[in-house]
Structure 1
Amino acid sequence: MSDTILALIPTYGLWVIFFTIAFGCLAIPLPGSMLVIASGSFAAAGDIDLYFAMAAAYGGYITGDQTAFRIARIAGPGLLERFKKSAKAEAMITRAEALLKKRGVIAILLSRTVISPLGPWMSYLCGAAGLKWIFFTLASMVGAAVWVAGYTLTGYFFADRLSELTSLASDGLGFVAAFAVAIVAAWWLRTSWKKYKEKTAGNDTGECLESKVDPINADIL
């Protein structure tokens, strides 16, 4: 299925991206992360526009999130019980429940970035649990933006490594976690370097002032 969907991008482009991501947010098993990485690679090759691809992915994500939330809000907790008849779905919902109980609204953001496989189940859970729409939507929008930008730009800048990236993306947690670690590491290195430069500059200034003191008049100063 993955190869078939990827083959449709140059022809149907934005619609394929939009609907694949939207249906994926409803817990329908589609290769959303692989598709978004591939869309970045196609953009690098000039087959589609990068910003349009990102907009289509983001629009699909928000549409799918809102649809899942609304379905669960209308259907109520009984919907989750029906989902739990599947052992796999039950395990994911249980993880989502534990994360939401522990982290609150932050759990929504985490389920769209570092723990992205929980995303669809988190949407259903929030809707069924009666979480305020505004809290869900704000966290969902921020998380979706991070997810889309991370995957699309990775595919764009590393287009020549598409096969390796899509293979890694099949384990969404591992890929996004690695991306997050890279961002944190880059921030830490930048901060450490700035502190080192400031310290070095301070030492140099002190040395310069000392060199300007006249040994004869040192006691007076």
Structure 2
Amino acid sequence: MTWKINHIPIFIALISVLFYACSKDEVDDFKEVVDSDYELKDLSYYMAKGDGIDTVTIKLTGNELPNFGNTLSELQYEESFDELLLTSQFFVDDTVGYVPPDLPIEKYEVNVPKDLEIKGNPIYQNTKFRMSSELEEAPYKTGGSSVLTLKVKPYSKLILERYVDRYLLTCSFKADFVDKNTGKHIVVNGKWKGTMGYNGYQVLVQELPLK
């Protein structure tokens, strides 16, 4: 009996310590965690070392206009530019600054440059793109189609080949994000690559006899 009576306070004290420790852990687990909420405050584009404009000639969908008759024929061909696309890609430079994992920049839709003036002030495209490293595409609006009227000799056909120059811009960007909860600024630097526009459209016409 003496042994049991002497150790009852120790047993009770041990239970109390364990209960207090568990209760403290539970309180810590329920501390409020505030998620970061970033706002894009500023985005600028500029030309830096290695930036520039590349010109690529692309072949568009052509057409064939046959004349199966024995007299000269005038045939109309409606030109369409629906296959022309605007493109956009953002590449973050991880060596400059730090992008926290809770800042998903790819969810932000932004204006992209159509042209960079001498002072570095961009003229923007009408279409916005996500700040994504994946290739983003959107239709290039040309203002409509046009109709060509061509004369085709008897028992002949015209082969139409169409080409246009695409201008691709590579420039640098700097984006300033602010955490609304803390006021902390996160600056993201990198490169933007995309389509500025198209020019130099030409149609090559070849006349061949019908077989």
Same fold (TM over 0.5): no
Higher strand share: 2
Higher helix share: 1
**TM-score normalised by length of structure 1:** 0.21
Greater relative contact order structure (CA < 8 Å, 6+ sep): 2
Larger radius of gyration: 2
